[in-house]
């Protein structure tokens, strides 16, 4: 009771000036009721919270013991098949969601990429967006200057991003923890700023156009600006903008599944184990003859490659790349995906990417409160599940027959 009152008072002090007195030029307008309403809400909330907590151990026991989802092999298989089936029929059910889904899938890719760097190798990278940008601009610039097509751009961007990853990786080898964080953040900012400033090459703040992907050379447009054959004309059906989006969706889905497989294989490979070991104890690794340079660089490069591919898709969907899409905020969201997913867990990354990317879309009805609520949910999720949504399960090597 008393603690509820105290939190109410604190709420009043916190909300008082900012919500109660609104600046207007050099003057202000008073909204005296707003802080009181908010403080009352907080008071009531903390009162209810205290009651729930006071209800005794029987309730809290039920809350601390989380239901554990343990699935047998065939159950896992059927769950996977079910999810895949759902993913395939999804665009036919919810046309209006498909663009959001495409972005969600891009974030799954980004999450998987960063997961290698942060989740598996434990290298705190706050500038992952740089590789995303390299991929996206790789396509846009490659298309503009070299006439590269979408499908050709994917390997091109992946390799470029991988090399960039190694270039970034090299100087930061000696750095640990937060120093690494700031250097990667700086690297991300540098890339962003170069994209903004080098107008002659990158188009500067207005960005650069990138054509959408084609299927065997067929475009998905209502009419062709380049003279290429059109999908709906070739098939003799009526034009619908959703064809193009569905096509991107399925291509992306294929890439996401491929990336998942890649990550799962990597995780249980010598590299995956070395990353994890290096994350825990670099000195012990060196005493075992593991070259921390190659191990770290491989993590940076492989992560960057996946990020690069995601960038190409982003450019293909947007049909325009622009430096604004590659800011620190983006890096932060990708990092949040990895952490919320449970650091290293692949299903976790997928779940978190879809949650975090779809959330703002779902919250669109809240208008300007959208990002505010998004932030609240982000904090709440971290408090609710500090170690992530999905806990990684270890592979049992001892049970393997050899």
Partner 1 sequence: MDDILKVDSLGVSFGGIRALDQVSFEVAKGSVTAIIGPNGAGKTTVFNCLTGFYKASDGRIQFQDKNRTHSIEIILGQPFTLQDFVNPISFGRKLFYKMFGGSHQVAALGISRTFQNIRLFKDMTAIENLLVAQHRSLNKNILANLFNTRSFRDSEAQAIKKAKEWLAIVGLTADADRLAGELPYGHQRRLEIARAMCTDAKLICLDEPAAGLNHNETKDLSNLISRLRTNHNVTVCVIEHDMSLVMEVSDHIIVLDHGNVIARGTPTEIRNNPVVLKAYLGEE
Partner 2 sequence: MDLYTIGQQLINGLVLGSTYGLIAVGYTMVYGIIGMINFAHGEIYMISAYLTAICLAVLTWMGITWIPITILLVLFGTIIFTSIYGFVIERVAYKPLRGSSRLTPLISAIGMSLILQNYVMVSQGARNQAVPTLIEGAITIGSEQHYLRITYVQLGMIVVSFLAMALLTFIIGKTSLGRACRATQQDMMMARLLGINTDNIISSVFVIGSIMAAIAGLLITFNYGSFDFYIGFKAGVKAFTAAVLGGIGSLPGAMLGGIILGMSEGLFSGFVNSDYKDVFAFSLLVVFLIFRPSGLLGRPEVEKV
Partner 3 sequence: ESKTIKIAVAGPHTGPYAAFGEQMLKGAEKAAQNINKAGGVLGKTLEIVKVDDECKPMGAVNAANEIVSKYKANAVVGHFCSASTIPASKTYMSHNVIMVTPASTNPKVTERKLPNVLRMCGRDDQQGQVAARFISQDLKAKTVAIVHDKTTYGRGLADAMKESLSKVAPMVKEALFEGITRGDKDFNTLVTKIKAKQADVVYFGGLHSEAGPLLKQMRQQGLKAHFVSGDGIVSNDFVTAAGGSQFVDGVYVTFGRDPLKYDTTKNVVASFKQDGYKPEGYTLYAYASVEAIVAAMQSTKSTKGVALANWLKTNGSNTIMGPKKWDKLGDLTKSDYVIYRWDDKGNYNEI
CA-CA-CA-CA dihedral for 197, 329, 308, 279, to nearest 10: 120
Q: How far apart, in Å, do the first and last CA atoms of the chain sit? A: 63
**Least separation in angstroms between CB 205 and partner 3:** 5
Q: Which does 397 bind (CB under 5 to 8 A by kind): partner 3, partner 2, partner 1, none?
A: partner 1
Of the ranges 10-18, 202-210, 259-267, 326-334, which one interacts with partner 1 (CB under 8 A)?
259-267
Using CB under 8 A as the binding rule, the residues of this chain from 281 to 340 that contact partner 1 are 281, 283-293, 302
Q: Which does 332 bind (CB under 5 to 8 A by kind): partner 1, partner 2, partner 3, none?
A: partner 2
Q: Is 343 in the site for partner 2 (CB under 8 A)?
A: yes
137 within 8 A of 208, measured Cβ to Cβ:
yes
The residue (of 87 and 359) whose beta carbon lies closer to partner 2 is 359
d(CA 321, CA 257): 25
Q: Which does 273 bind (CB under 5 to 8 A by kind): partner 1, partner 3, partner 2, none?
A: partner 1
**Least separation in angstroms between CB 401 and partner 1:** 9
141 within 8 A of 316, measured Cβ to Cβ:
no
The residue (of 11 and 158) whose beta carbon lies closer to partner 2 is 11
Site string for partner 2, 281-320 (x = CB under 8 A): --x-------------------------------------
Of the ranges 66-74, 76-84, 304-312, 336-344, which one interacts with partner 2 (CB under 8 A)?
336-344
**Least separation in angstroms between CB 320 and partner 3:** 4
d(CA 313, CA 157): 11
Query: Given its phi and psi angles, is residue 319 left (phi above 0), alpha (psi -120 to 50 degrees) or beta?
Result: left
Print burial letters for 54-67: b (CB count within 10 Å at least 16), e (below 16): eeeeeeeeeeeeee
CA-CA-CA-CA dihedral for 290, 291, 293, 299, to nearest 10: -40
Q: Which does 271 bind (CB under 5 to 8 A by kind): partner 3, partner 2, partner 1, none?
A: partner 1
Residue in 49, 92, 179, 250 binding partner 2, rule: CB under 8 A: 179
How far are the Cα atoms of 72, 235, 360, 377 from residue 371, in angstroms, in the given order? Answer: 39, 43, 7, 10
**Least separation in angstroms between CB 253 and partner 1:** 19
How far are the Cα atoms of 43, 241, 327, 380 from residue 377, in angstroms, in the given order? Answer: 20, 34, 21, 5
Q: Is 69 in the site for partner 2 (CB under 8 A)?
A: no
d(CA 130, CA 187): 7
Name the pairing type of β-strands 208-209 and 320-321. antiparallel
In order, the DSSP letters of 100-164 are HHHHHHHHHHHHHHHIIIIIIT----S-THHHHHHHHHHHHHIIIII---HHHHHHHHHHHHHHH
The residue (of 288 and 380) whose beta carbon lies closer to partner 1 is 288
Question: Residues touching partner 2: how many (CB under 8 A)?
Answer: 57
CB atoms within 10 A of CB 362: 13
DSSP class of residue 321 equals E
Residue in 34, 144, 273, 385 binding partner 1, rule: CB under 8 A: 273
Residues forming contacts to partner 1 in the complex (CB under 8 A) are 262, 265-266, 269-271, 273-274, 276-277, 280-281, 283-293, 302, 394, 396-400, 402
Q: Residues in the site for partner 2, rule: CB under 8 A?
A: 10, 13-14, 16-19, 21-23, 25-28, 34, 118, 124, 171, 174-179, 181-183, 185-187, 189-190, 193-194, 197, 283, 328, 332, 335-336, 339-340, 343, 368-369, 371-372, 374-379, 382-383, 386-387
């Amino acid at each position: 009771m008393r603690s509820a009152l105290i939190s109410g008072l604190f709420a009043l002090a916190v909300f008082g000036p900012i919500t109660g007195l609104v600046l207007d030029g050099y003057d202000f307008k008073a909204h005296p009721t707003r802080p009181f309403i908010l403080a009352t809400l907080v008071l009531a909330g903390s009162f209810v919270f205290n009651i729930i907590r006071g209800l005794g151990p029987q309730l809290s026991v039920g809350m601390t013991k989380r239901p554990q989802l343990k699935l047998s092999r065939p159950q896992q298989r059927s769950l996977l098949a079910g999810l895949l089936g759902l993913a395939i029929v999804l665009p036919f059910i919810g046309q209006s969601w498909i663009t959001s889904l495409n972005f969600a899938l891009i974030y799954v890719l980004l999450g998987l990429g960063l997961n290698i760097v942060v989740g598996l190798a434990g290298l705190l990278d706050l500038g992952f967006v740089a590789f995303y940008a390299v991929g996206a601009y790789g396509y846009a610039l490659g298309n503009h200057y070299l006439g590269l097509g979408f499908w050709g751009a994917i390997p091109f961007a992946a390799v470029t991003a991988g090399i960039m990853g190694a270039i970034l990786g090299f100087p930061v080898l000696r750095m640990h923890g937060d120093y690494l964080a700031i250097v990667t953040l700086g690297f991300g900012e540098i890339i962003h700023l170069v994209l903004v400033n080098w107008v002659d090459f990158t188009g500067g703040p207005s960005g650069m156009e990138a054509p959408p992907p084609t299927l065997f050379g067929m475009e998905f447009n209502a009419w062709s600006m380049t003279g290429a054959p059109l999908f709906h004309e070739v098939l003799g059906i009526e034009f619908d903008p959703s064809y193009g989006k569905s096509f991107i969706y399925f291509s992306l889905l294929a890439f996401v599944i491929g990336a998942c497989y890649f990550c799962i294989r990597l995780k249980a490979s010598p590299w995956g184990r070395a990353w994890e070991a290096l994350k825990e104890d670099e000195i012990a690794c060196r005493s075992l003859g593991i070259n921390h340079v190659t191990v770290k660089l491989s993590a940076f490069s492989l992560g960057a490659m996946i990020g690069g591919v995601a960038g190409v898709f982003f450019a293909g969907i947007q049909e325009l790349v622009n430096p604004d899409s590659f800011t620190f905020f983006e890096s932060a969201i990708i990092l949040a995906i990895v952490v919320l997913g449970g650091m290293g867990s692949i299903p976790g990354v997928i779940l978190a990417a879809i949650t975090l990317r779809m959330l703002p879309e779902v919250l669109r009805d809240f208008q300007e409160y959208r990002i505010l609520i998004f932030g609240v949910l982000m904090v709440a999720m971290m408090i609710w599940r500090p170690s992530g949504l999905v806990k990684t399960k270890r592979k049992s090597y001892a049970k393997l027959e050899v």
